[in-house]
Structure 1
Amino acid sequence: MVNTFQVMKRINKTDLRLIYPSVLWGALWLCEASGFVFMLSEWRGYPQWHDLMSTETFRADALHFKFLYAFCISASVLLVVTAVVFRHSLLRSLELLKLADEERSIDAMREALSSALASFSVNTSDGYMSYDGCTVKVPPRVAVFLDALVLKEDHTLSLEELNGLFHARFYDGTESSHSRIRNMKCTVHKTLQDTPFDVVRDAFGNFRLVLKR
């Protein structure tokens, strides 16, 4: 008994919230099925419909007809709600599958990027970039920028981090700072043109080191 109580305590509220709708749904259909069985058992002793309609002494039990009416209405409502819930669950499942595929794709891209970066190195002191045995001279600022991207765990740099690499006013929103960003991006693209890497900006304006598609 104590062990059972301890096991029940381990079930968190989130799990219970997931279980409650299913239990309630099953209980509703169980009540509906019980009502249907009860209705059949109550009407079992009645004559067939053609006998009833041809009998002058026919007196319909109003309670049974009301029960049948309520059963039909409740069954129809449950069927409609079941269809809606099934559609919602199906869409949710498809959405989760899509998210899982995207996560697997992102993980695969990260693994591929990490594998490719094993052959990539940047020498900020001498201003050299090396990939797969090929060494290229690069501007010092580009070398610092690429080295920072390689060292970051997510290979992403924000504009604030970019200011930290160079100086506080490297990007301050002015036209001249926009021009500096464009010039550096152009230089980085040219530097990486013979490698499988590229630098792009995401929806938040951050710089990301990625593999070329």
Structure 2
Amino acid sequence: MLLSIDWDAFSGTRELVFDAPIWGTRDREADRVAAWRERARQRDPQAPGWSALDADFPLYPGWEALERYAGVPAHVTLTHADAWEWLAAHPGAHVLNVDSHHDLVSFSGDPTRVRPGNWAGLALASGRAGGYTCLYPSWHAGLPVAEGYDLGRTWGEVTPLLAPEVRDRVTLTRGLRWPDPAEVTALLLVQSPAWTNPAHDPAFSRLARRLGATPLTPPLDRSAAG
């Protein structure tokens, strides 16, 4: 199988944080830095760096276990749209995607253009992926409007937009259950800076180094931009 990890499965939010990008955001340049700077300013304009974000946007545990995959061929990238090219080297493989979003369909814009929100659905429809499991993080169980909180609701929203032959190859589930490294052919680590707290960039970079991940699109280092 292929293992895809979106950093927003760990760099997340608390319940009732109404400006949290998990509820819906675009992936524009301003969303990656300026929007986070404004969130920090609204909380405490005098707080140093990104520290004003600490309470509402924590780094959840579990990502440390990814170091077990050191030695598996790994890439790191800025955006999940890059998964489209990554998959080309492994046609027809099953993808396990650890993510806060299903990435099966985008609800706006051109549905045929590969984006962070639809790469998985397009890969299934084209045969670039043979099967797909979206594994939501455990902390979604505490956020009633998160995708992974009510899997039945999420499934009901997504499946009418998928062709039957795609729908039959999709699984949505929750709770970290890491596959054995021997089962993983390749790994993709995705920063998704529009959705992830800049204060967590150093941890992300350390993980990428420990995995020996080769960059596709270089991730951002926003740690000093607060």
**Shorter-normalised TM range:** under 0.3
Q: Which has the higher contact order (CA 8 A, sep 6+)?
A: 2
| TM-score calculated relative to the size of structure 2 | 0.20
User: Of Structure 1 and Structure 2, which has the larger fraction of its residues in strand?
Assistant: 2
Q: Which has the larger radius of gyration?
A: 1
TM-score for both structures, normalised by structure 1: 0.21
